[in-house]
Structure 1
Amino acid sequence: MRETRIEKRLIKEIEKIGGKALKFVSPGVTGVPDRIVLLPHGKMIFVELKAPGKKESPMQRYRAKEYRNLGFDVRCIDSVELIIKLIEEVRGYAICTS
């Protein structure tokens, strides 16, 4: 499965529970996560998406650590199983709209 398919599935699953998975681009700042997931009640998660088995680059790991140190939730997802796990974890923050 390619990264783009995982990304599309993440967007679909997040929208099902009333959230948004916005593309995150920050000109001049390398290594930022691919998506900012916004959930009901002010919950926010940065998500780096990868093709199955692929790992974050050193700069992506640096950014993830930097954002975690600021108190943010940062995830790296490389499978549908991890998407489902994320949805199960955050369901308490979300309002089901489907």
Structure 2
Amino acid sequence: MLEKELERKLVKETKAFGGLCIKFTSPSLMGVPDRLVLLPRGKMGFVEVKRPGEIPRPLQQKRMKQLSDLGFPVFVLDDEKKIAIILQAIGGDAE
């Protein structure tokens, strides 16, 4: 499955979960995760989307650790079966 397909599914399922899945880019900070997931009740998390079996590049891993160290949930999505798990982890009982 292509990365774009996974991203589309993440956006669709986030919307069904009652949230927004925003493309996240930062011109001044390279390596940030692909998506910012915003769910009801102020829940948010970051998602790096990869092709199945792919891992984030070293700079991406560094950024993900920085965000995680700040207390934000950060996930790598490389399988569509993980979407519901990620949304549940970010939103808890937000449904």
Q: Give the direction of change, closer, same or farther, for the CA distance of 1:90–1:69 in structure 2 (3 Å limit).
A: closer
TM-score by length of 1: 0.90
Deviation of 1:86 (Å): 1.7
Q: Structure 1: 5+ residue runs without aligned partners?
A: none
Deviates more, 1:21-30 or 1:78-87: 78-87
Q: Which runs of 4+ in 1 moved over 6 A?
A: none
1:84 aligned residue:
84
Q: Which secondary structure does the structure 2 equivalent of 1:53 belong to?
A: coil
2:25 is matched by which residue type in structure 1?
V
TM-score, normalisation: structure 2: 0.93
Report the count of equivalent residues.
95
Aligned CA RMSD, in angstroms, stands at 1.3
Mapping of 1:15-94 within 5 angstroms?
A: 15-90=15-90, 92-94=92-94
**66-75 vs 85-94, which moves further:** 85-94
| Conserved? CA contact 2:43–2:91, under 8 Å | no
Tell me, which stretches of 5 or more residues in structure 2 are unaligned? none
The percentage of counterpart residues that share the same residue type is: 44
Name the counterpart of 1:6.
6
Q: Residue deviations 1:46-74, cap 9 Å, x none?
A: 00000111110000000000001111000
Give the Cα–Cα distance (whole angstroms) in 2 for the partners of residues 67 and 90 of structure 1: 14
